[in-house]
Chain A
């Protein structure tokens, strides 16, 4: 009856081998020799899987690829009348099922915010929907926080199992793995042997210990009003964000940033319509066809990022914040901008003024 299995560190590779015969398996691997960064790549036996630290790039691209073909097109000229042409269209491609192995609670929480936008509204995004439906998450309980982490500040936590299909708890130089739903349950038999009662008990204790220690010193869940109160305070934003260099790192490494661009990329008579990640930090993001740009300054763009995550999003989706507290935007920022402090100080500054 036990749905909990144990897999030793030394048996991980063999297990991933087995899993990769069933589906595409994505694992966190180092970016290269002598590099610190980690990203998710399709499993390959030569890759060293890194579970001991958070990945630099979140596994967002598994469900929401950086570039996705929406449709392919081909114009065909009429042989008898070259002024006439017809067009062949091919849309939605089938995708295969996938398992993201070794994600963290913050990574998975990112998709919960995606779901609101792409699945729960009036329009359902078929591209996102089919990948989301076919992707499973084997998430590892997080016991390696660093100084940029703040998942508990946004209502999640290092032991947050929401959104995961399989839950892994590090125990005895290995993992106790538990299925959290039917999708996960199907994989359990090929993953490993049942865990012993001692291992299960140890895992329970680790879960309790981790859950008892929140990560992040602030509570940022009720910041929507503070943001609107501070919106027009240009000095506040200019002061804190002058150092921003307006690159796309924070948005591209973010598990919850979902803004995209759609372009037709064609050559001669054929091409494709693609959807690619966009970034609200870019000048061109809001550039209008007239040449007018409603957010020409860097600090206006940064303000939008904060507003979107902590004010507009919770207003539109029942109070849900579109920030998972993973801290990637802080860690990877070339100038170390700290979004926690900016959001927290919105309130302080409002209080100080009153």
Chain B
């Protein structure tokens, strides 16, 4: 079935290839447990594309920061593969006019979740030479020449996937695969946030101090974020004015992560890339989810769902009832 999805995916792009400048998808990575983003410019390379639970990267991040899609030199489109969560980032970028809808040819992929390589390693450090890896019901089946391993999904999927309620793409031109049922109901979406909120305030502070203290200020969370669109002018690095010191104390790290989160309030589409890319495994998506929860409660708004809607923090409504 996964093979069918890949064929559909490739065919979707092949059918319109002469109208496309480039196709963003995934291809096999440096080993059998990694996929890597792929920029396809020739039709014969389309067969490099793959789809499996290792295709974790949100490719929408390239639209603004690498391809600068807003500035088009020709009428050719950008082909892009999106999972459910990725498609929300697309919607947000379209809403904020960073990406014109008509510049995209979107192939959506209903997604049952992507694998957190580090969680998988914790479970089975010796795992290698994987021939096939797919989701079967509540398990991840990993086939090697010797045996088939089965891992419970809650132990090996990315955190974002465990609380995902939008596994199906929201906008697309073509769809590869049948829609899937969301893993959680609307009431469980903020379960991870609520868990932290059960801590007392001092304990919560202690939790975040411990987590954020590991930050090495590599800015991967920012650079992987599809909605962090300040590009090379992020205030974390500007010297005039200088908001943050070059020091690497907890204070600076805390400040940086709060800036990142505040700039995404009501904009974050919860793709979880910030957390996935973190080399020191800080659960940074939680901070953004908390802000989203507040935006939902106050303004009844969810980012990246409706391309026609105006994001609340990009507008002003004096009759606003939430606040």
Distance in Å from the Cβ of B47 to the closest Cβ of chain A?
A: 17
Q: Decide if A276 touches B246 in the complex (CB within 8 Å).
A: yes
Q: Is the CB of B29 within 8 A of A32?
A: no
Q: Indicate with 1 or 0, residue by residue over A185-215, a CB within 8 angstroms of chain B CB atoms.
A: 0000000000000000000000000000000
Please name all residues of chain B whose beta carbon is closer than 8 Å to the beta carbon of A330 when the two chains form the complex.
30
Tell me the bound Cα distance from A284 to B211 in angstroms. 27
A306 vs chain B, min Cβ distance (A): 16
Q: Among the listed B29, B119, B220, B246, which residue makes an inter-chain contact with A247, where contact means beta carbons less than 8 Å apart?
A: B220
Residue among A57, A148, A274, A335 facing the most chain B CB atoms (10 A cut-off): A335
Any A CB within 8 A of the CB of B307: no
Of the candidates A243, A337, A338, the one having the most CB atoms from chain B within 10 angstroms of its own CB is A243
A248-B246 in contact (CB<8A): no
Taken together as a complex, chains A and B put the C-alpha atoms of A242 and B67 apart, in Å, by 9
B244 to chain A, nearest CB (A): 10
A242 to B31, CA, bound (A): 20
- Distance, CA A341 to CA B38, complexed state (A): 15
Whether A37 touches B247, Cβ cut-off 8 Å, given contacts A148-B30, A243-B39, is no
**B114 beta carbon closer than 8 Å to chain A:** no
Q: How large is the interface on A (under 10, 10 to 19, 20 to 34, 35 or more residues)?
A: 35 or more
B258 within 8 A of partner (CB): no
Contact B29 A265, beta carbon cutoff 8 Å = no
On whether the beta carbons of B66 and A298 are closer than 8 Å, the reply is yes
Contact (Cβ within 8 A) A66 B216: yes
Give the residue among B30, B31, B66, B122 with the most A Cβ atoms within 10 A.
B30
Size range of the chain B interface in the assembly? 35 or more
Hey, what's the 0/1 contact readout for B42-84 against A, CB within 8 Å counting as 1?
A: 0000000000000001000110011000000000000000000
Question: Residue A279 at the B interface, CB < 8 A?
Answer: yes
Interface residues of B in 197-233 (CB under 8 A from A): 210-211, 214, 216-220, 222-224, 231-232
Specify which of B34, B65, B220, B276 is in contact with A248 (CB 8 Å cutoff). Answer: B220
B277 to chain A: which residues have CB within 8 Å? 245, 247, 249, 334
With both chains docked as a complex, state the minimum distance between the C-beta of B191 and any C-beta of chain A, in angstroms: 17
A247-B220, A276-B248, A282-B237 known; A36 and B119 CB under 8 Å? yes
A126 to B293, CA, bound (A): 51
Residue of B nearest to A276 (CB): B246
Contact of A248 with B29 in the complex, beta carbons under 8 Å: no
A17 within 8 A of B: no
Complex Cα distance, B214 from A252, in Å, reads: 13
Docked Cα-Cα span, A35 to B281, in Å, equals: 7
The reply to whether B246 and A57 form a contact with Cβ atoms under 8 Å apart is: no
Q: State A242–B218 Cα separation when bound (angstroms).
A: 19
Determine the chain B residues whose CB is within 8 A of the CB of A228 once the complex forms.
none
B245 within 8 A of A: yes
A32→B280 CA distance, assembly (Å): 10
Q: Which of B211, B217, B224, B280 contacts A37 (CB 8 A)?
A: B280
The dominant DSSP class at the A interface is: loop
Whether a CB of chain A sits under 8 angstroms from the CB of B37 is yes
Complex Cα–Cα for A57 and B121 (A):
17
Chain A: minimal CB distance from B68 (Å): 11
Q: Is A11 positioned at the interface, with any CB of B under 8 Å from its CB?
A: no
Given known contacts A56-B280, A66-B248, A252 and B118 CB-to-CB distance under 8 angstroms? no
Which residues of the partner chain A approach B280 to less than 8 Å between Cβ atoms? 31, 37, 39, 56-57
Residues of A with C-beta under 8 A to B38: 243
Q: Closest residue of chain A to B231, judged by CB?
A: A283
Measured in the bound complex, the distance between the Cα atoms of B231 and A31 in whole Å is: 30
- Contact mask B15-45 → A, CB, 8 Å, 1/0? 0000000000000011111111111000000
Please tell me which one of the listed residues B33, B210, B218, B231 contacts residue A32 in the complex, with CB atoms under 8 A apart.
B210
Tell me the minimal C-beta distance from A277 to chain B in angstroms. 8
Does A53 sit at the interface, judged by CB under 8 A? yes
How many Å lie between the Cα of A11 and that of B34 in the bound state? 38
B37 & A148 in contact (Cβ 8 Å cutoff): no
- Known interface pairs A245-B65, A247-B223; A32-B216 also in contact (CB < 8 Å): no
Q: Which of B144-159 contact A (CB under 8 A)?
A: none
Q: Whole-angstrom distance from the CB of A279 to the nearest CB of chain B?
A: 7
10 A-B pairs closest in CB distance: A334-B277, A147-B31, A247-B220, A36-B118, A248-B218, A283-B232, A336-B29, A336-B36, A243-B37, A245-B223
Given contacts A336-B29, A338-B36, 7 further A-B pairs with CB under 8 A are A147-B30, A147-B31, A242-B39, A252-B216, A265-B246, A284-B232, A334-B276
| 25 A–B contacts, CB within 8 A, in A order | A31-B214, A35-B118, A36-B118, A53-B125, A57-B216, A66-B248, A67-B248, A147-B30, A148-B31, A242-B62, A245-B224, A247-B222, A247-B223, A248-B219, A249-B277, A252-B218, A253-B279, A265-B246, A276-B246, A279-B218, A282-B237, A283-B231, A332-B279, A338-B29, A341-B30
